[in-house]
Amino acid sequence: MNIIKLSAINSTNDYLKGLTAAQFVENFTIVVTEDQTGGRGQMGSKWNVEPGKNLTFSVLIKDLLLEINEIFNLNAAVAVSVIEGLESFNISNLSIKWPNDILAGNKKIGGILIENSIKNNGEIFSIVGIGLNVNQKDFGELPKASSLSLVTGKEYDKDAVMAGIVENLRRNVAGILNSNTNFIWNKYHSKLYKMGVPMPFDKEGQKFMGIIKGVSKSGTLEVQLADDSVANFSIKEVQLLY
């Protein structure tokens, strides 16, 4: 496994992207840092965590050609790989909040940011960024954040946790390459937070009740509405209120 360990960097996603522009980088190369000073999250948010205590890393996945209507296969595989990696450390009560927040109970312990790019020579690079709260115990003003340590009361070896996640990621990406994604989607849905339960949603400031029926391979959320029709919402359109 090719692992680049850094003590501090702006963003591991940006660092890995820069590296691929400058030189040949092996498939599944990992960039991990102790302190990420400009971590980026979904939809332009920031990812700020305490230095030294958590996992902030990015993995390069090459040439995973995904059709636009199946673009979410990789997101599902990454979320499932994080869950499977953590389950091997006996962390229970894990779920995936659409699109790919990792929850323990109803608190967020991890997030995923995947960025795809096509190089001039046609190569496709997916940069899979994973932030996982491991040994941090204080989240100050963030009541919905938690960590492995807060959940179990134990301290974790970050390298071992990362290795567990990446091992599952390799296997699940191989599944996608063999067009065998059923097992990924079955697991994704079995772990989907609030699946089948009436829940409040927000769509551009309007609140409504709906029941999550599933997530499509393009990443839209399928929600059964009050009139029993099923609507598909994109990530930017709705927010699950919890």
74 binds ligand BTN (CB under 6 A): no
Is residue 54 at the binding interface for ligand BTN, with CB under 6 A as the rule? no
Does 11 bind ligand BTN (CB under 6 A)? Our answer is yes
Cβ nearer to ligand BTN, comparing 131 with 164 = 131
Least distance CB 159 / ligand BTN (angstroms)? 15
Q: Is position 40 an interface residue for ligand BTN (rule: CB under 6 A)?
A: yes
Dihedral sign for Cα atoms in the order 5, 9, 14, 17: negative
**Residue whose CB is less far from ligand BTN, 86 or 112:** 112
Cβ-closest residue to ligand BTN? 111
User: Segment 83-102, which members bind ligand BTN (CB under 6 A)?
Assistant: 101
Q: Which residues contact 77 (CB under 8 A, 6 or more apart)?
A: 169, 172, 173, 175, 176, 181, 184
Our finding on whether 210 is near ligand BTN (CB under 6 A) is: no
User: In the structure encoding, which two tokens stand for residue 182, read together?
Assistant: 């059923």
**Of 33-41, 59-67, 168-176, 230-238: span binding ligand BTN (CB under 6 A):** 33-41
Q: Is 54 within 8 Å of 147 (Cβ atoms)?
A: yes
Element (H, E) at 173: helix 158-177
Q: Which pair of tokens denotes residue 29?
A: 């190369």
Q: Do 172 and 80 meet the contact criterion of CB atoms below 8 Å apart? A: yes
Residues 143-162 within binding reach of ligand BTN (CB under 6 A): none
How many residues line the site for ligand BTN (CB under 6 A)? 20
Backbone angles phi, psi at 137, to 5 degrees: -115, -15
Both tokens assigned to 43: 């939809």
Residue with tokens 């096509």: 118
- What letter represents residue 103's amino acid? L
Q: Which is nearer to ligand BTN, 38 or 196 (CB)?
A: 38
Determine the Cα–Cα distance for residues 64 and 119; give it in Å rounded to an integer: 13
3-state DSSP call for residue 102? strand
Confirm or reject binding of residue 133 to ligand BTN (CB under 6 A).
no
Binding test (CB under 6 A) with ligand BTN, winner from 99, 131, 164, 219: 131
Residue list 110-129, contact with ligand BTN (CB under 6 A): 111-113, 129
Which helix (DSSP H) or strand (DSSP E) does residue 26 occupy? Answer: none
- Site residues for ligand BTN per CB under 6 A: 11-13, 36, 39-42, 45, 47, 56-58, 101, 111-113, 129-131
